[in-house]
């Protein structure tokens, strides 16, 4: 009998054939080499040779010898018999008639193949499982599968399923207990009492202290900012952030903290002392930095949207209101000045050239003429109005909104002092003066007089100098310290975003430079990184090769320009002819119609349950508590929750009368089993199965991927939403930046606030995919493009293929200034400086190595490499490297229409996925009602998983439909099959109440519908 974490089906599948091996597996495990044949040929009869071969290859494939050697899939028997020249495969039945023959063969194979008995390797396996469980925290099923793989690799005969399952369960439990004991041992008696107090509900309160502290800020306001800093200070006061937890694997600490952040306080109270307090310690350590992250997230959006942007908007509104007065005053002055100009200037007769004196000779006469058109009182009023409404002559364009900003001081007053007390800021040399000024602000606030000597006047750039030093309402010799506060905050905000000012006690807003590999750490991983990315340690030869490639490509493409009707040059600017859509032949329309008509009609939950039955993806949903027991029919509840979250409809439509669909069970499973980590693990399984389907392989090899953003309105108050009227109207919103490969499988995604440039996040999405092959070519839209991103992606080994909507404005780059590139001569007006790249090469390698190994986020690196839109010297060197790849990309676009079509096809594939996602995520008008980033990631993780399940369901049935049509003699052309879309949805019910009962599926699939049947049939 299996232990608790294995189902009966999983236990039965252990060390046994699950259907026929794939062709690849047959060739890998069942191919008989010369040594195998030598062993087999020693057996005299056909059935003994075939049985011996079956035992040999089965041991290689499964890690066991079969008690019944005839229990082998026919495909295996046929493959072995073909190699051995045995025509009658039924001869295998005779092999099992003599038990002694089988046992003798097993003994011989154990000796020849050098298989080890499990008892001899058990101690080593325990050590290996313990190390893996300690560092990864994987669930028991994942550890069980890994242990099976470990035994097979080392040629250890698999033990009974119960023996191995109990070993894994006991070792994992011991590793967990050691984790809890290690963290528990770090705590003093007082600290234990403090942590336990977090689970209590204070008198008069409705939630525990832990519930209160783990809820971050949601509203964007000064008082909320003060509350966020007070929360961070309160959590920091526990002192848990000062404990040395470096001996604990980061993944295990993060896992424990996630349980503490997501789990109910009542559930935590049930655990024993070591586990409870270890979980609370991990949670407190996590919240110590997370609370600072939350506060700085709020500060960033508060300054950007509530202060800077609002001041600019209100200033613009005021300018619009004063515009009529300005216009009237201006026309009066213009009219008066024209009289002055006309009457006081000499007059020249254009025909004779005769010069006449001015019409008026005295000031009095001039005023008389002026007052004929503009009375003196109106002229004086116009002058007064212009002095009142127009800025001073020496002011700049920012003075108006900066003056407006100063009036918003009550917004920042509540939290300024707390900000520098709670957040441990650091700075680079460039940011140090601003940080010093920020820390001095609390000493200036509330004073009646502040002299210029008490502030850093070097920070007063542009109109800030006038507003701070020459404010009309201030006494001579004093400064407007409120204006100085905002001058410092504006600079601080800019430098914080660039991480020139950073928070030492924050994970998100910390110093990315400190995370870059350096010194011994870099030297240790440098060879591995260079080999992995195929980059040289010295840049000379590599850059010379890139230069030769660029030069040769220019010359080749320029030579084909006269015959290339797809491109034209206008004043040296490159233009492409519109890419005409490929015609749809009648055969494609007929095939598409027939395939879609054959798709079985199902409810969305049935799609999920059926996909679970094929893939076992539901096994990825493990309890956050670490418990090994699984609820009965957990897959039904998981499917219901995926519908609730993926369709954005909530619990109500999926609640049913059976236990698996009752509210209490749904709520428990939602909190305990569903989280981003389990979504990603389940998604990896779906991606793998999608890649194995023949139709998906026709679409592509999984090596081309695209990254694009899908926008969601967030109608609830949230720090993690940003305004953008184009996409979100009057509300805030978020972007789900997701990746899909050419097999239509979603590889992963990332939620970002608002609509920032995708280029900041593309690399992070690529390196943080859920599963599937590593893509080689990356397609994006123009928003994901920059020269630095081009450089980083090329260094990381990706072929970057962005769509360049503004192509005529794109500068092409060359290395040799003297080279003649024909039609591209004017377009290639930029010059790549190879010497600049070579000087920075070691730092460039260290940057890409740090990103590649996960030491630092690419987002932080890209922000660090740019300053106010201008790259740093290192960023400029990476941009120059990227311009080589960019120019090669543009040349390929110009020369290969097929390349442009491939990029367009991949972009269309992503658009199709987004259209399907909109249909699935239909509840609440498709708006995202999540206040916190974790909640957004979880819900959109559910959507991504449902999307992949629907695509897998469609792909498998479409593959079966195509095969059936071919068998029936339908005109199925390969080029038409490649253009079928897996995003069809008319056969899937996504609305209303749903069916959660999976019918009997002989062969694992539903029957296809008759393509000629009517809808009623």
Q: Does the pLDDT value for residue 906 go beyond 90?
A: yes
Q: Is there a contact between 630 and 906 (Cβ–Cβ < 8 Å)?
A: no
Q: Report d(CA 876, CA 34) in Å as an integer.
A: 58
CB 838 within 8 A of CB 854: no
Does 1017 have pLDDT greater than 50? no
Q: Confidence class of residue 224 from pLDDT cuts 50, 70 and 90?
A: very high
Poorest-pLDDT segment among 339-343, 778-782, 927-931: 339-343
Q: Quick one: pLDDT at residue 61?
A: 80
Paired sense of beta strands 501-503 and 425-427, if any = antiparallel
Q: In angstroms, rounded to a whole number, what is the distance separating the alpha carbons of residues 674 and 635?
A: 12
Whether 233 contacts 241, CB under 8 Å? no
Residues 6 or more apart in contact with residue 192 via CB below 8 angstroms: 273, 277
pLDDT at position 23 = 74
Q: What is the mean pLDDT of residues 711-736?
A: 91
Given a cut of 90, whether residue 103 has pLDDT beyond it is no
Alpha helices in 741-854 (DSSP H): 762-767, 787-795, 834-839, 841-852
Query: CA geometry: angle at 403 spanning 397 and 404, to 5°?
Result: 105
pLDDT beyond 50 at 840: yes
- Summarised one tens digit per residue, pLDDT across range 566-620 is 888 887 788 888 878 888 899 999 999 999 999 999 999 999 999 999 998 998 8
Specify the pLDDT at position 97. 66
pLDDT of 609: 95
φ, ψ (nearest 5 deg) of residue 712: -130, 130
Confidence of residue 875 (pLDDT cuts 50, 70, 90): very high
Q: Over the stretch 1000-1016, which tens digit does the pLDDT of each residue have? A: 887 788 999 988 775 55
DSSP at 771: S
| Least confidently predicted of 405-409, 727-731, 865-869 | 865-869
Instruction: Output the pLDDT for position 260.
Output: 86
Average pLDDT over residues 338-366: 77
**Residue 134 confidence (pLDDT) above 70:** yes
* Residue 394 pLDDT level (bands cut at 50, 70, 90): low
Q: Are strands 425-427 and 347-348 parallel, antiparallel or unpaired?
A: unpaired
Q: Is the pLDDT of residue 513 over 80?
A: yes
Q: What is the 3-state secondary structure (H, E, C) of 497-531?
A: HCCCEEECCCCCCCCHHHHCCCHHHHHHHHHHHHH
Among 603, 606, 607, 600, residue whose Cα is nearest residue 949: 607
Instruction: Categorize the per-residue pLDDT at 629 as very low, low, confident or very high, splitting at 50, 70 and 90.
Output: low
Q: Cα–Cα distances in Å, from 219 out to 15, 98, 314, 717, 735?
A: 56, 79, 21, 5, 19
If one counts every other C-beta atom within 10 angstroms of the C-beta of residue 298, the result is: 24
Structural contact between residues 655 and 663, judged by C-beta atoms closer than 8 angstroms: yes
Please state, for a pLDDT cut of 90, what percent of the chain lies above it.
52
On average, the pLDDT of the chain sits at 88
Indicate if the pLDDT at residue 225 is higher than 90: yes
- Helix 161-185 to helix 140-153 angle (10° resolution) is 120
pLDDT tens sequence across 439-462: 999 999 888 899 999 999 999 988
pLDDT for the residue 1: 36
Question: Half-sphere exposure (CA, 13 Å, Cβ side) for 736?
Answer: 31
Binned at pLDDT 50, 70 and 90, residue 666 comes out as very high
What does the radius of gyration of the chain's CA atoms come to, in whole angstroms? 36
CA-CA distance, 464 to 397, in Å (whole number)? 11
Nearest by Cα to 762 from 702, 705, 809, 677? 705
Give the containing element (helix H, strand E) for 515.
helix 512-515
Say what the pLDDT of residue 2 is: 41
Q: Could you report the per-residue pLDDT of 910-928, keeping only the tens digit for each?
A: 999 999 999 999 999 999 9
Q: What is the pLDDT of residue 627?
A: 63
Tell me the angle at which helices 432-444 and 481-497 cross, rounded to the nearest 10 degrees: 150
| pLDDT band at residue 15 under the 50/70/90 scheme | confident
- pLDDT of 797 over the 90 cut: yes
| Residues 308-330: tens digit of each pLDDT | 888 877 777 777 777 788 888 88
Q: Which helix (H) or strand (E) element contains residue 748?
A: strand 746-753
Three-state secondary structure call for residue 740: strand
Look at residue 628 in the predicted model and tell me its pLDDT.
Answer: 58
**What mean pLDDT is predicted for residues 253-276?**
85
Supply the pTM of this predicted model: 0.83
pLDDT confidence of residue 988: 94
Which pair of tokens denotes residue 597? 């008509």
Question: Is the confidence at residue 3, as pLDDT, over 60?
Answer: no
Say which range, 115-124, 297-306, 322-331, has the weakest mean pLDDT.
322-331
Encoded tokens for 681: 């693990």
Least confident of 72-86, 591-605, 688-702, 823-837: 72-86
Q: Which of the pair, 701 or 154, is modelled with greater confidence?
A: 701
User: What is the 8-class DSSP label of residue 739?
Assistant: E
Pick the residue with more confidence: 963 or 359?
963
Q: How many residues does the chain have?
A: 1017
Q: What is the pLDDT of residue 575?
A: 84
């Amino acid at each position: 009998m299996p232990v608790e974490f294995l189902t009966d089906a999983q236990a039965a599948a252990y060390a046994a054939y699950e259907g026929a091996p794939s062709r690849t597996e047959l060739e890998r495990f069942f191919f008989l080499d010369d040594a195998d044949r030598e062993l087999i040929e020693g057996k005299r009869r056909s059935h003994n040779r075939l049985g011996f071969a079956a035992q040999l290859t089965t041991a290689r494939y499964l890690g066991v010898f079969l008690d019944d050697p005839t229990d082998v899939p026919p495909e295996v028997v046929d493959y072995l018999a073909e190699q051995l020249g045995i025509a009658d495969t039924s001869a295998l039945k005779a092999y099992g008639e003599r038990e002694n023959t089988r046992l003798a063969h097993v003994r011989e194979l154990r000796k020849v193949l050098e298989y080890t008995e499990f008892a001899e390797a058990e101690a080593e396996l325990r050590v290996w499982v313990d190390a893996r469980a300690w560092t990864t925290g994987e669930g028991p099923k994942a550890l069980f599968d890994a242990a099976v793989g470990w035994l097979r690799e080392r040629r250890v005969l698999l033990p009974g399923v119960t023996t191995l399952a109990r070993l894994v369960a006991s070792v994992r439990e011991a590793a967990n207990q050691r984790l809890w004991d290690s963290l528990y041992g770090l705590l003093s008696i007082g600290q234990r009492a403090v942590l336990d107090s977090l689970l209590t509900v204070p008198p008069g309160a409705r939630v525990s202290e832990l519930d209160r502290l783990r809820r971050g800020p949601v509203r964007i306001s000064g008082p909320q900012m003060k509350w966020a800093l007070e929360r961070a200070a309160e959590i920091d006061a526990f002192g848990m952030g000062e404990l040395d937890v470096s001996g604990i694997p980061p993944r295990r600490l993060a896992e424990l903290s996630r349980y503490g952040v997501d789990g109910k306080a009542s559930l935590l109270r049930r655990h024993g002392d070591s586990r409870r307090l270890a979980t609370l310690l991990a949670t407190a350590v996590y919240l110590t930095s997370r609370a600072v992250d939350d506060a700085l997230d709020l500060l960033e959006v508060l300054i950007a949207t509530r202060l800077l942007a609002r001041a600019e908007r209100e200033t613009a509104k005021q300018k619009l209101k004063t515009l009529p007065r300005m216009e009237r005053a201006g026309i009066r002055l213009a009219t008066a000045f024209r009289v002055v100009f006309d009457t006081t200037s000499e007059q020249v007769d254009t025909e004779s050239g005769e010069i006449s004196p001015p019409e008026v000779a005295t000031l009095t006469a001039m005023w008389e003429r002026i007052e004929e058109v503009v009375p003196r009182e109106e002229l004086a009023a116009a002058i007064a109005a212009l002095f009142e409404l127009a800025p001073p002559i020496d002011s700049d364009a920012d003075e108006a909104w900066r003056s407006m900003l100063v009036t918003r001081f009550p917004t920042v007053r509540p939290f300024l002092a707390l900000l520098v007390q709670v957040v441990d800021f650091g700075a680079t040399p460039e940011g140090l003066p601003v940080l010093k000024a920020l820390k001095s602000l609390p000493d200036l606030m509330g004073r009646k007089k502040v002299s210029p000597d008490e502030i850093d006047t070097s920070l007063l750039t542009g109109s800030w100098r006038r507003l701070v030093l020459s404010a009309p309402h201030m006494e001579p010799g004093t400064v407007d310290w409120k204006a100085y506060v905002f001058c410092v905050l504006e600079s601080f905000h800019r430098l914080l975003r660039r991480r020139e000012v950073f928070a030492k006690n924050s994970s998100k807003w910390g110093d990315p430079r400190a995370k870059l590999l350096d010194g011994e750490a870099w030297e240790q991983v440098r060879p591995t990184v260079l080999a992995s990315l195929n980059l040289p340690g010295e840049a000379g030869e590599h850059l010379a090769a890139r230069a030769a490639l660029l030069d040769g490509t220019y010359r080749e493409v320029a030579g084909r320009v006269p015959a290339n009707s797809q491109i034209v040059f206008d004043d040296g600017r490159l233009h492409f002819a519109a890419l005409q859509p490929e015609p749809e032949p009648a055969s494609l329309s007929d095939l598409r119609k027939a395939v879609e008509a054959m798709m079985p009609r199902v409810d969305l939950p049935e799609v999920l349950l059926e996909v679970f039955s094929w893939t076992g993806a539901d096994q990825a949903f493990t309890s956050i508590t670490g418990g090994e027991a699984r609820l009965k029919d957990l897959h039904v509840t998981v499917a219901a929750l995926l519908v609730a979250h993926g369709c954005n409809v909530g619990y109500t439509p999926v609640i049913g009368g059976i236990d698996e669909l009752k509210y209490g069970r749904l709520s428990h499973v939602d909190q305990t089993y569903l989280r981003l980590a389990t979504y990603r693990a389940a998604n990896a399984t779906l991606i793998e199965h999608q890649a194995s389907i023949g139709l998906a392989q026709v679409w592509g090899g999984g090596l081309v991927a695209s990254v694009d953003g899908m926008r969601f309105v967030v109608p609830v108050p949230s720090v993690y939403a940003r305004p953008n009227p184009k996409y979100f109207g009057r509300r805030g919103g978020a972007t789900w930046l997701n990746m899909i490969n050419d097999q239509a499988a979603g590889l992963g995604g990332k939620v970002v606030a608002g609509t920032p440039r995708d280029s900041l996040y593309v690399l992070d999405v690529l390196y943080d995919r859920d599963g599937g092959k590593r893509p080689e070519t990356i397609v994006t839209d123009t928003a994901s493009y920059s020269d630095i991103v081009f450089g980083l992606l090329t260094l990381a080994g990706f072929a970057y293929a962005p769509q360049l909507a503004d192509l005529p404005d794109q500068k092409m780059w060359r290395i040799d200034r003297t080279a003649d590139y024909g039609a591209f001569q004017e377009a290639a007006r930029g010059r790549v400086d190879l010497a600049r790249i070579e000087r920075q090469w070691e730092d460039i390698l260290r940057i890409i190595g740090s990103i590649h190994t996960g030491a630092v986020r690419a987002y932080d690196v890209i922000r660090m490499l740019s300053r106010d839109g201008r790259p740093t010297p290192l960023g400029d060197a990476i941009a120059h490297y990227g311009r080589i790849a960019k120019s090669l990309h543009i040349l390929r676009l110009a020369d290969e229409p097929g390349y442009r079509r491939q990029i367009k096809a991949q972009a269309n594939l992503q658009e199709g996925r987004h259209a399907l996602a909109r249909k699935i995520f239909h509840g609440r008008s498709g708006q995202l009602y999540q206040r916190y980033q974790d909640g957004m990631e979880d819900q959109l993780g559910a959507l991504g998983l449902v999307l992949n399940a629907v695509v897998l369901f469609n792909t498998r049935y479409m593959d079966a439909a195509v095969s059936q049509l071919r068998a029936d003699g339908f005109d199925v052309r390969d080029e038409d099959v490649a253009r079928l879309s897996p995003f069809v949805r008319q056969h899937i019910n996504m609305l209303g109440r749903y069916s959660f009962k999976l019918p009997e599926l002989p062969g694992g699939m539903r029957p296809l519908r008759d393509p000629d049947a009517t809808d009623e049939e």
